[in-house]
């Protein structure tokens, strides 16, 4: 073995030590592939296991955007800001070049789930509605909360108000739920990430715990990790705190049959260090943040792996 080969092995070992956190995700893919059960589900054959958890540090502005494939973090950010503003009309995302929800907003899909009166791209009382107008009246014609109706509960703003108040920020009740049984039949797709809880310790360190009932592990999970980590960093910045940790609890973790070979490719790759995030300014209102306010530094990643999203 020559010196270059020895150095390469040494560097690879350093990467494993330095970014153990991404191996949590790669080990999940491996576990599903090796011991997952084959299931014939609503929208295709999957291999799945039930129950898994991961922890990602957010200290020192680190943002866990996976490196073993290129993750479209700007798409995750655009969707997150759409949620934050209480939006549910997919046309707004399409105008920004985001197509995550296209299949679920199609005429064919809406009709298939009984939402025949919904205009195309109106997704119903999904995440944004529940975050900002929980159980509020919904205007299907415009794809937003009913202007002159019951506005529901603004869960996100209540959490922001508590986080800004030193006497309230240590509350164990900083919970935001997207799962609303009263309005599930008004949603194009019931929420996959159903609940998150925020916690402050040591005076100013903000962590987020998220629970996800259904995890499309190769396709959705990298976006979910990025999205909730971005949300935690944003709330920390907005409320004068420090982002500390993202904890991720998962229920049904699955890989669609068509994605198995691509998942096998990904687990062969060695992670790089996670990048860092800078949020350039503090806006007065949480609704006012723009994509341009977020900068990612040193995002080194392997090549993109294309997975077809399954609605």
Q: Based on the number of CB atoms within 10 Å of its own CB, is 260 exposed (0-12), middle (13-18) or buried (19 or more)? A: middle
Tell me the backbone φ, ψ of residue 243, rounded to 5 degrees.
Answer: -70, 135
Please tell me the number of Cα atoms within 13 Å of 91 on its side-chain side: 9
Strands (E), 179-241: 193-201, 205-216
Is there a contact between 249 and 98 (Cβ–Cβ < 8 Å)?
A: no
How many helices, marked H, and strands, marked E, lie in the chain? 9, 10
The residues annotated with a catalytic role in the active site are 192
Check residue 119 and report its DSSP letter: P
Tell me the backbone φ, ψ of residue 273, rounded to 5 degrees.
Answer: -65, 145
Cα 129 from Cα 101, distance rounded (Å): 15
Task: Please tell me whether residue 214 adopts helix, strand or coil conformation.
Answer: strand
Nearest to residue 222, comparing CAs of 96, 76, 78?
76
Q: Apex CA 94: angle with CA 93 and CA 98, to 5°?
A: 65
Task: Please tell me whether residue 59 adopts helix, strand or coil conformation.
Answer: helix
Cα 227 from Cα 132, distance rounded (Å): 17
157 is written with which tokens? 């703003």
């Amino acid at each position: 073995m020559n010196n270059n080969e020895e150095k390469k092995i040494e560097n690879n070992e350093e990467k494993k030590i330095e970014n153990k956190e991404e191996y949590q995700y790669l080990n999940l893919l491996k576990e599903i592939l090796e011991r997952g059960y084959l299931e014939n589900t609503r929208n295709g054959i999957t291999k799945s296991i039930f129950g898994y958890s991961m922890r990602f540090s957010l200290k020192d502005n680190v943002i866990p955007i996976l490196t073993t494939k290129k993750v479209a973090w700007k798409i995750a950010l655009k969707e997150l800001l759409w949620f934050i503003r209480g939006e549910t009309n997919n046309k707004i995302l399409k105008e920004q070049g985001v197509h995550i929800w296209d299949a679920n907003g199609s005429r064919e899909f809406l009709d298939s789930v009984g939402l025949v009166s919904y205009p195309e791209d109106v997704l119903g009382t999904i995440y944004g509605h529940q975050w900002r107008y929980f159980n509020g009246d919904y205007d299907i014609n415009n794809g937003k909360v009913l202007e002159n109706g019951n506005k529901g509960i603004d869960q996100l703003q209540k959490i922001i108000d508590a986080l800004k108040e030193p006497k309230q920020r240590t509350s164990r009740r900083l919970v935001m739920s997207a799962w609303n049984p009263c309005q599930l039949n008004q949603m194009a797709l019931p929420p996959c990430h159903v609940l998150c809880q925020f916690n402050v310790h040591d005076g100013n360190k903000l962590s987020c715990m998220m629970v996800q009932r259904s995890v499309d592990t190769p396709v959705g999970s990298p976006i979910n990790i990025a999205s909730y980590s971005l949300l935690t960093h944003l709330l920390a910045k907005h409320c004068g705190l420090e982002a500390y940790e993202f904890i991720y609890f998962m229920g049904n973790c699955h890989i669609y049959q068509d994605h198995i070979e691509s998942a096998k490719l990904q687990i062969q790759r060695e992670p790089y260090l996670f990048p860092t995030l800078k949020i350039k300014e503090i806006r007065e209102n949480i609704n006012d943040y723009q994509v341009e306010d977020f900068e990612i530094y040193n995002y080194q990643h392997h090549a993109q792996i294309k997975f077809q999203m399954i609605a």
